Amino acid sequence: MIRCARVAGLVGIPLPFVTNETALTPIRWGILATGKIAHAFATDLAHVPGAELVAVGSRRLASAEAFAEQYGRPGGPAPRAYGSYEDLVADPDVDVIYIATPHSLHLDNARLCFEAGKHVLCEKPLTLSVADSEEMVALAREHGLFLMEAMWTACHPGVRALQRRLAAGEFGTPRHVHAELGFVVNADPSDRMLNPDLGAGALLDMGIYPLTFAHLMLGQARSLTAQADLVVARGTDSGEEGAIDMSVAMTGAYDNGALATMHASMSSWSSAAAAIATDRGRIDVREFFHPTSMVFTPNAQKADWTDADVALEPVVIEPDEPVLGMGYGNEAAEVGRCLRAGLVESPLVPHEQTLTLMRQMEEIRQLTGIRYPGE
Ligand SMILES: NC(=O)c1ccc[n+]([C@@H]2O[C@H](COP(=O)([O-])OP(=O)(O)OC[C@H]3O[C@@H](n4cnc5c(N)ncnc54)[C@H](OP(=O)(O)O)[C@@H]3O)[C@@H](O)[C@H]2O)c1
């Protein structure tokens, strides 16, 4: 297996993006769970140079078998199918496991992986609480294993290009970020989107994206405010009540007076767009969590600032590198790059960034009254 240096915080070493597939040490992936996002991830993994899906584990063997059959590479061996997560993590040919279960199960699943010596890419949000996320990070460090939250937005080549060019001042100084993400959830009360036992609610599922986008563009928030539309729901396993948010509106204050307004919803269809207003114009981002279009439109009164090194005509902002599949491929490629370089965390999604966003969401939960069974 690929071992990583047991050095906490060994991040930030830029390595060239290797595109020559034959030069890459294969990264052998296992997928833990066979739900919706596991399917999207497996589809994109096929686009990642040097990545091999070697095994999948599910609570039901039939589901793992169907998944393995669907995602085997043409001409290659079918991934092995396991009827339990325990059997998956015991597979000696798996280097790294992608955890694709509901949020409330991530910590137990990650512990299982680390105890079996496997690196982990864990779906967002890492856990329901800051304490549990800190425990997961501590476990990874104790075992000297790689851990990254699957925050694909931070690995997306479009977002990275935007971040780099905005920070370089190419579009002026950012003053305001707006980002919103929402869709109407029509699901059974047992579904993870509505079941408080599984970490239901808009904030943890969707609100994490506008918060992350603002963090990537403006830096760490100095303060946050929030309002939420709560409903009381009973966990379908525990029978206990929780208060989950159907919709959450948030504001953030950042350095240099920059502000953000952010919204996430399970009860309304939002634009899924973001806009960054600067002192020189506006950047419009479609599908900001995996941008499909990014355009800077300069303010018409450009005569005032022809001295500045800022574009005078609209600029289409292009990704820095190819987008692999929907963009989940880029997060898998980043994991591969880190493992080959012996890193235990990614400079694109460092543990501290994940924990910062978890702290923000915990603060918003306290401000609005979002709570889960047992709290
Ligand atoms: N990055 C993204 O764009 C993105 C998008 C959607 C979701 N996500 C994240 O991915 C995670 C999974 O979301 P999803 O939409 O894929 O959920 P999902 O469709 O409900 O699938 C979750 C899977 O987890 C497994 N599981 C284990 N115990 C379970 C339990 N008690 N109840 C339900 N499922 C259980 C099941 O797989 P088996 O039966 O095979 O064991 C199930 O199919 C969430 O944390 C979510 O935030 C990320």
Rounded Cα distance, 313 and 156, in Å = 25
Q: Ligand 1: which of 101, 136, 183 to mutate, most ligand atoms within 8 Å of CB?
A: 101
Confidence of residue 18 (pLDDT cuts 50, 70, 90): very low
Answer yes or no: are the C-beta atoms of 91 and 80 closer than 8 Å.
Answer: yes
Helical axes 130-143 vs 351-368, angle rounded to 10°: 160
pLDDT, tens only, 174-187: 999 999 999 999 99
Mean pLDDT of 218-240: 97
Please identify which residue in the block is written with the tokens 């060239």: 16
Confidence of residue 312 (pLDDT cuts 50, 70, 90): confident
Q: Mean of the per-residue pLDDT values for the chain? A: 92
Asked if the model's pLDDT at residue 10 lies above 70, the reply is no
Q: For residue 215, report the distance from its CA to the centre of ligand 1, in Å.
A: 25
Number of alpha helices (DSSP H) and beta strands (DSSP E) in the chain:
11, 14
Asked if the model's pLDDT at residue 9 lies above 50, the reply is no
Answer yes or no: are the C-beta atoms of 273 and 287 closer than 8 Å.
Answer: yes
Confidence of residue 58 (pLDDT cuts 50, 70, 90): very high
Mean pLDDT of 249-277: 97
Q: Is 57 in the pocket of ligand 1 (CB under 6 A)?
A: no
Residue of 72 and 363 predicted with greater confidence: 363
Residue of 22 and 310 predicted with greater confidence: 310
* Residues whose CB falls within 8 Å of the CB of residue 168, separated by 6 or more in sequence, listed in order: none
Measured between alpha carbons, how far is residue 18 from residues 22, 146, 172, 333 in Å? 10, 20, 32, 10
Question: What pLDDT score was predicted for residue 72?
Answer: 86
DSSP-derived letter for residue 319 is P
Rounded Cα distance, 182 and 125, in Å = 16
* Residues whose CB falls within 8 Å of the CB of residue 134, separated by 6 or more in sequence, listed in order: 355
pLDDT, tens only, 237-260: 999 999 999 999 999 999 999 999
**302 is known as an active-site residue:** no
Q: Is 59 in the pocket of ligand 1 (CB under 6 A)?
A: yes
Asked if the model's pLDDT at residue 3 lies above 70, the reply is no
Could you give the angle at the alpha carbon of 11 between the alpha carbons of 172 and 342, nearest 5°? Answer: 140
Q: Which among 155, 206, 207, 168 is positioned nearest to 296, based on CA atoms?
A: 168
Question: What pLDDT score was predicted for residue 219?
Answer: 98
Rounded Cα distance, 271 and 220, in Å = 25
Rounded Cα distance, 299 and 58, in Å = 53
Q: For residue 247, report the distance from its CA to the centre of ligand 1, in Å.
A: 21
* Residues whose CB falls within 8 Å of the CB of residue 190, separated by 6 or more in sequence, listed in order: 236
Q: Which among 40, 94, 85 is positioned nearest to 60, based on CA atoms?
A: 85
pLDDT, tens only, 74-115: 777 889 999 999 999 999 999 999 999 999 999 999 999 999
Q: Ligand 1: which of 31, 36, 82, 128 to mutate, most ligand atoms within 8 Å of CB?
A: 36
φ/ψ (deg, to 5) at 231: -130, 145
Asked if the model's pLDDT at residue 307 lies above 70, the reply is no
φ/ψ (deg, to 5) at 63: -70, -40
Q: Look at the chain and count its residues.
A: 375
Mean pLDDT of 118-127: 98
Strand ranges (E), the chain: 27-32, 51-57, 80-82, 96-99, 119-122, 147-149, 174-182, 223-234, 241-253, 259-265, 274-278, 281-286, 293-298, 315-316
DSSP result, 242-289: EEEEEEEEEEEE-GGG-EEEEEEESSS-----EEEEESSEEEEEESTT
Q: Is 319 in the pocket of ligand 1 (CB under 6 A)?
A: no
Confidence of residue 304 (pLDDT cuts 50, 70, 90): low
Rounded Cα distance, 5 and 320, in Å = 29
Q: Which among 107, 88, 108, 87 is positioned nearest to 96, based on CA atoms?
A: 88
